[in-house]
């Protein structure tokens, strides 16, 4: 970046409220989870693994 003369702005402190990557990831996840009902923690893990595989 320095060679190009660009300024580097450090990322903001971690916070899901302001991290753009978290916002887009978890907003999409929230939309898909709204109609889901799980009967076990294993079902949640399987759903999460499948959801990530499709991203």
- pLDDT at residue 21, as a whole number: 67
Distances (CA, A) of 53 to 15, 23, 38, 46: 25, 19, 19, 11
Tens digits of pLDDT across the chain (55 residues): 678 888 887 776 666 566 666 667 777 888 888 888 899 999 999 998 998 898 7
Alpha helix stretches (DSSP H) within the chain: 20-33, 41-53
d(CA 45, CA 48): 5
What are the φ and ψ backbone dihedral angles of 32, each rounded to 5 degrees? -75, -30
Give the total residue count for the chain.
55
Q: What is the pLDDT of residue 3?
A: 81
Q: Say what the pLDDT of residue 14 is.
A: 67
Domain that holds residue 49: 2-54
Counted domains in the chain: 1
């Amino acid at each position: 970046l320095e060679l190009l003369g660009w300024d580097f702005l450090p990322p903001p402190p971690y916070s899901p409220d302001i991290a753009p990557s978290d916002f887009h990831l978890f907003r999409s996840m929230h939309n898909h989870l709204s109609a889901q009902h799980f009967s076990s923690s294993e079902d949640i893990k399987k759903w999460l693994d499948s959801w990530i595989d499709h991203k």
